[in-house]
Amino acid sequence: MQINKSNAVNTIAKKPSYFTRLKKDYKQNKYLYFMLIPVVAYFLIFYYQPMYGVQIAFKNYSFKYGIWGSPWVGLKHFKGFFDSYYFFRLLRNTLTLSLNDLVWGFPAPILLALLINEIRNNSFKRIVQSVTYLPHFISLIVVCGMLKDFFSLNGLVNNIIQQFGGEPIQFFIKADMFMPIYVGSNVWQQLGWGTIIYLSALTGIDPELYEAARMDGANKFRQIINITLPGIMSTIIILFILRTGKILTVGSEKVLLLYNPTIYEKADVISTFVYRKGLEESNYSYAATVGLFNSVINFILLIAVNNLSKKYTENSLW
């Protein structure tokens, strides 16, 4: 006992301090430190400086005094935002778009991957993949340009509606039409590309499992339920966690390109509101407040869902 104890004391005393070890590491890996200077500088300047700058949410920002010098106002902007007419509308629209996007956009690539996986003819399989990946590479501007054209009053979609005897619809003036157009085109853009990750997970499933199931007389549907889905379940869960962390994020870009003031009631989301308040009306502090509210909620959601998944499924991001 005595000897052991003194040994332990000795090793503690011998273990060099963090700083000494760092110095030694620097001597050994000097070039790695040089390599990381521009990289770390980049992340500090372009990611961590804005996190420091977000304090203007608690200030009245003016260019004259800068981030540090502008006067503190506490939670005034938060209170203003929560009490405003916009708060509920933005929350509702953001959630409506993103939940619908989740409900339609998340299972679709899984389903398609399962179907592609069943194609036995390899060259047909490759063609299907190439064609369905394609929309992912088309620029958002072009996608939205095509949407505006096809769904315009004299556009292709209305032509078809009229040929079937229907009344033409003013898609971009009817607020209720915004969600289907937004979500539908998102699915169109991302459906094929989203299958890649599942298809690669599918190749990892042991073919003997299918062989055994066939021996037991399990049909295709049972094989999918009992072998295929469990085989890609961890991929599905990880992607689902990542997706949930973004449940209150509806990117401003596509909405900005598609909406107009007549349909703000249904189409205006948190990010587009931040854009208008901040960059069009120069109301920097107020806009930063709304943005910060959004980031914090997203981050909390991500952590919560990740912890739930860790607890119940042993899948986790970190």
6 vs 217, beta carbon nearer another protein: 217
Instruction: Compare residues 175 and 197 and give the one whose CB is closer to another protein.
Output: 197
Residue 227 near residue 205, CB atoms below 8 Å: yes
| Residue 60 · residue 285 · CB < 8 Å | yes
Pattern of binders to another protein over 166-185, x per CB under 8 A? --------------------
154 near another protein, judged by CB under 8 A: yes
Q: How far is the CB of 7 from another protein (least distance, A)?
A: 26
The reply to whether 197 sits near another protein by the rule CB under 8 A is: yes
Site string for another protein, 3-42 (x = CB under 8 A): ------------------xx--x--xx-xxxxxx-xxx-x
At residue 31, φ and ψ (nearest 5 deg) are: -70, -30
Contacting another protein within 245-304 (CB under 8 A): 245, 252-253, 256-257, 271, 274-275, 278-279, 284, 287-288, 291-292, 294-295, 298-299, 302
Q: How far is the CB of 89 from another protein (least distance, A)?
A: 19
Answer for which of 10, 20, 159, 170 binds another protein (CB under 8 A) is: 159
- Select 145 or 230, whichever has its Cβ closest to another protein: 145
Member of 9, 45, 225, 233 binding another protein (CB under 8 A): 45
How many residues bind another protein (CB under 8 A)? The answer is 97
Q: Please identify, using beta-carbon distances, which residue of 43 and 82 lies nearer to another protein.
A: 43
Identify which of residues 192 and 266 has a Cβ nearer to another protein in the complex. Answer: 192
Residue type, 31: Y
DSSP for 195-257, please give it: HHHHHHHHTTS-HHHHHHHHHTT--HHHHIIIIIHHHHHHHHHHHHHHHHTTTT---HHHHHH
What ranges in the chain are assigned the alpha helix state H?
A: 2-14, 18-28, 30-43, 49-53, 66-69, 76-83, 85-105, 107-117, 122-133, 140-150, 156-163, 178-202, 207-215, 220-223, 229-244, 252-258, 264-267, 270-275, 284-313
Q: Does 308 bind another protein (CB under 8 A)?
A: no
The CB-of-156 to another protein minimum distance in angstroms stands at 7
| Two tokens, residue 260 | 């107009």
Q: Collect all residues with Cβ–Cβ distance below 8 Å to 188 and sequence separation of at least 6.
A: 135
Q: Which of 110, 181, 183, 201 binds another protein (CB under 8 A)?
A: 201
> Which of 10/69 has CB closer to another protein?
69
Q: Report residue 228 as tokens.
A: 């295929």
| Cα 305 to the center of its chain, rounded Å | 14
Return the number of the residue (4 or 163) whose C-beta is nearest another protein: 163
Within residues 77-136, the interface with another protein by CB under 8 A covers: 112, 115-116, 118-120, 124, 127-128, 130-135
Which CB, 46 or 85, lies closer to another protein? 46
Based on its alpha-carbon atoms, the radius of gyration of the chain, rounded to whole angstroms, reads 27
Paired residues of 148 in beta bridges: none
| φ, ψ of residue 268 in degrees (nearest 5) | -75, 125
- Least spacing, CB of residue 145 vs another protein, in Å: 3
